[in-house]
Structure 1
Amino acid sequence: MNYMICKWIGCENNAAVKATMDVNTAFESFGGKIVLLWKHNRKIIRNIEEIVSVMKLKHNITSSDNIIVQWPLYSIKPYNDSKFIKFPHKKLICFIQDIESYRYNPNNKGSLISDIHFLNNFDVVIAHNQGMIKFLRENGLHTDIVNWEVCDYLIDEARSKHTIAGGYQICFVGDLKRSGFLYVNCHDFQTHINLYGQANADKVLTSQLSYNGIYAPDDKTSMLNGHFGLIWEGNCLDTCDGALGNYMKINNPNRLSLYLANNLPVITWKNAGLAKFVEENKIGFTVDALTEVDGILSNMSTEQYNEMIENVKSIGTKIRKGFYAKKAIDEAIYGNYSSI
C-alpha cells in the first residue's frame, strides 16, 4: 500500500489548498490512501485528531508500504514531521510543496540547515524544478531527487478568452495587496492588466488596470480575460524583489500552472526557477524587467502568438490531468529516475 500524509486541506479557496488537493488526486490514481492529519482547525480538536491519525497509521503500516509526506505538514508536537521517519516503510518520500524556512526569511540559515537535515532522512525528495534541485544540492541535500518540473492544476476545461483586436492584454491572478509593482506609475509599462484576487481597497487603480473579481477554479463561469498570464513578485518593475521575489528562483508558482491550464501563455522573470521551462517549451517569454514587455508585445505577430497558444494547449492538457505529479510520484515510488 502507498500512503500519502498531508496537512488539513480545509475549505479555503487559495493556491496552497489547491496545490495539496491536486497532488492528492494524482496520488489516488495509483490506488494510494490519503492520510489527513486532522479535519478540524480548532486547536484542541485538531490536536486530538492528529494524535489519533498518527497512531492509526503507525498501527497499519508495514515494511512493504511506501510513505509519501506532503511537506510541510505544520503538525503539532510531539507528533511532528520527523515522527514519520521512524515508521516501518519500504520507501520514504518527501513531496515538497514549500520550503518555508527560505520562503519568508532567506537569511535564516539555521532554519534552512534544520530543514535540509530533515530532508536527508528521506529516500527520495520530489523538488519543484531544476532551480530548487540546484539550491538543495548546494545547501547539503544528499538524497535522491525527482524533478516535478511544473505544478499541476486540475480543472475540467480551459476557461480564458482573448482576441488580438485591440492589442495584447495581460491577466494577473494573485494577492493584490502584496503585489506593489502593480501600483507603480511608469510610462515605460503601459500594457493593460486585468486583475483577479481580493480587491485592494487601499489603492486607486490606474487606467491600465482593471479589477475583474476573484477567479474560482471550481466555478465554470469564472473566466480569465487576457492574452498572457503574468507571474511577478515584489514592489518594482525592474526586477522581482523582496523575500518572495527571491523565492521565485526556486519555486513553482501555482499561478503559472493556473494560466497554462487555461491555455494562456505566460510572462515571468528571467531568473525564475521555471524560466527555463517556459523558454524551452515556447509557452511564453521571460524578461529581466516588466518595462521590456511593451516592446516585446508590440513586435509580436499573430503567427508567433498562435504558435505559443498551440504549445500551451499541449502542456495545459497535461497540467489539467495531473500528468506532472503522477510522473514524479511514479518515478519516486518505482525508482524510474537517476540521481540528479
Structure 2
Amino acid sequence: MSETCVLTIKEKKMMDAGIKAKKDISKFLSAENIEQINLEVNLDSKLSKFFFSNLILAKAIRNGVYNNFFFQYPAYSAFIEDKVAYFIKKYHSQANFFIIIHDVESLRLFRNAEFKNREINFFNQSAGLIVHNDKMKQWLLNNGVKVEMVSLEAFDYDNPQPLNSITNQKWSICFAGNLKKATFIKKLDLKHELYIYGSRVKKVVGNVRYCGRLDPDILPKYLRQSFGLIWDGTSLNQCDGVFGEYLKYNNPHKMSLYLSSGLPVIVWKQAAVADFVEKNQVGITINRLSDLDEILDKLSIDDYRQLKENVVKIAKGMRNGVYIKRAVKNLLALEKA
C-alpha cells in the first residue's frame, strides 16, 4: 500500500468541465502509485453535508493507513473542508496534511476579510500547499500563510486527442470557457476569425464563430485554430472585474487546454501566467485586445513555427502530469528536510 494518498471530493451536480483539473491530478498521481480517495457529496442541504462528513468522509479517512494526505481544495463547503483537516489529525496524528489549491476563493468569489481569515487559517492547518504560481504564493505570504508552499507553474491536462499541427499563415483564434462572463467578446471586432466554445450565446457579430459546448476530453479535437485566447472581463483594454483581477494570481485551466492541444496562447501581459508564457516562449502577451490584429499581421510564419515547436515540448509534459508530479515530489522533500 502507498504511504501517500490524494483526497478528492466532488459535488454530485458538478459538470465534468468543473472537475476536469481534479480528475487529471488524480489520474497522473495514480500513475505514481499514489492512492486515491474519491468521494461524492450532495451540497444542497446541511443535513446531507453533516451525514457525508461524519459517516462517509470520517470512515474513508479512518480506514486509510497513510503518512501523507493531499487534499484537493476547495470542496465548496467550509464545513466539509474543516472536517477533512479534523479527521486527518484525529485518526492520523503523525501524518502530513497537504493541500493542492485549485482556487483561492478569497481572491475570487468571496473577497471579504471574514472569509479570507477563515481560508488562510485553513491553509495554515496544513503542512504545506501546492499553489498555482509565484504570484499566488506571494499573495498568500503577504496575507498570513506560514506553511511551506510549492508553485505548480501550470496545470497538467490529460488530453487524448492528436496535437494540432496546423502552421498556415491564415491566423485564427479560439476561446473556450464560460461565455456568459466573457462579455468582452460582444465588443471584439477583429479581422482575424475568433472561434468560441462554451455555453450558448444569443448573438455573435463580425468574425466571431460560435462552435457549441463540448466535453473537455473531446474539445481539443476541434481546436484547429492558430492560437488560444486567455482573457476575462468586460473590457478590451485590460482584464477587469472579479475574474479579470483573478487572472493576476491564478493559472487558468484553459491555458493547459490550449497548450496540451498544441496551440500557442495569447494572454494579457499582467496575468500571472504571462511569466510562464514568456519564459517558455509558447505564445504572445498583450496589453490590449485592440492591438491583436496588428500583432498578428506582423507575425512571420517562421516565428510561429518556433512557438509551435516550443508548445509541443510543453504539451508532452502536460499530457504526462509532469507539473503535478514535480510539485508533489518537491513538497514532500521540503517536509522531510
TM-score (norm 1): 0.89
Measured after TM superposition, the shift of residue 112 of structure 1 is 1.3
Percent of matched pairs sharing the same residue: 30
1:74 corresponds in structure 2 to 76
1:176 aligns with 2:179: yes
Residue 34 of structure 1 aligns with an amino acid whose one-letter code is Q
1:101 corresponds in structure 2 to 106
CA RMSD of aligned residues (A): 2.4
1:194 corresponds in structure 2 to 195
- Cα–Cα, structure 1 residues 104 and 220, in superposed 2: closer, same or farther, change >3 Å? closer
Q: Secondary structure at the match of 2:272?
A: coil
Assess if the C-alpha contact under 8 Å between 1:3 and 1:32 holds in 2: yes
1:321 aligns with 2:326: no
Residue 325 of structure 1 aligns with an amino acid whose one-letter code is I
Measured after TM superposition, the shift of residue 143 of structure 1 is 0.9
Structure 1: how far apart are the matches of 2:278 and 2:30?
32
Matches within 5 A, 1:53-64: 53-61=56-64
Q: Secondary structure at the match of 1:122?
A: coil
Measured after TM superposition, the shift of residue 169 of structure 1 is 0.6
Structure 2: how far apart are the matches of 1:337 and 1:197?
44
Residue 187 of structure 2 aligns with an amino acid whose one-letter code is V
Structure 2: how far apart are the matches of 1:221 and 1:291?
27
Residue 148 of structure 1 aligns with an amino acid whose one-letter code is L
2:25 corresponds in structure 1 to 23
Residue 271 of structure 1 aligns with an amino acid whose one-letter code is Q
Residue 299 of structure 1 aligns with an amino acid whose one-letter code is K
2:97 corresponds in structure 1 to 92
What count of residue pairs does the alignment treat as equivalent? 331
Structure 2: how far apart are the matches of 1:262 and 1:90?
38
Structure 2: how far apart are the matches of 1:327 and 1:11?
31
Assess if the C-alpha contact under 8 Å between 1:116 and 1:139 holds in 2: yes
Measured after TM superposition, the shift of residue 300 of structure 1 is 0.6
- Cα–Cα, structure 1 residues 28 and 221, in superposed 2: closer, same or farther, change >3 Å? closer
Assess if the C-alpha contact under 8 Å between 1:93 and 1:125 holds in 2: yes
Structure 1: how far apart are the matches of 2:71 and 2:220?
34
Q: Which runs of 5+ in 2 are unaligned?
A: none
Assess if the C-alpha contact under 8 Å between 1:248 and 1:273 holds in 2: yes
Measured after TM superposition, the shift of residue 122 of structure 1 is 1.2
Assess if the C-alpha contact under 8 Å between 2:127 and 2:335 holds in 1: no
Assess if the C-alpha contact under 8 Å between 2:5 and 2:36 holds in 1: yes
2:301 corresponds in structure 1 to 302
- Cα–Cα, structure 1 residues 337 and 278, in superposed 2: closer, same or farther, change >3 Å? farther
Structure 1: how far apart are the matches of 2:78 and 2:174?
39
Measured after TM superposition, the shift of residue 190 of structure 1 is 3.1
Structure 2: how far apart are the matches of 1:154 and 1:114?
33
Higher helix share: 2
Q: Secondary structure at the match of 2:243?
A: helix
Deviations 1:298-325 (CA, angstroms, capped at 9, x unpaired): 1110000000000000000111111111
Assess if the C-alpha contact under 8 Å between 2:220 and 2:257 holds in 1: no
1:280 corresponds in structure 2 to 279
Residue 181 of structure 2 aligns with an amino acid whose one-letter code is R
Residue 138 of structure 1 aligns with an amino acid whose one-letter code is N
Further displaced range: 53-62 or 114-123: 53-62
Assess if the C-alpha contact under 8 Å between 1:160 and 1:223 holds in 2: no
Further displaced range: 12-21 or 40-49: 40-49
Assess if the C-alpha contact under 8 Å between 1:47 and 1:76 holds in 2: no
Measured after TM superposition, the shift of residue 163 of structure 1 is 4.6
- Cα–Cα, structure 1 residues 92 and 287, in superposed 2: closer, same or farther, change >3 Å? same
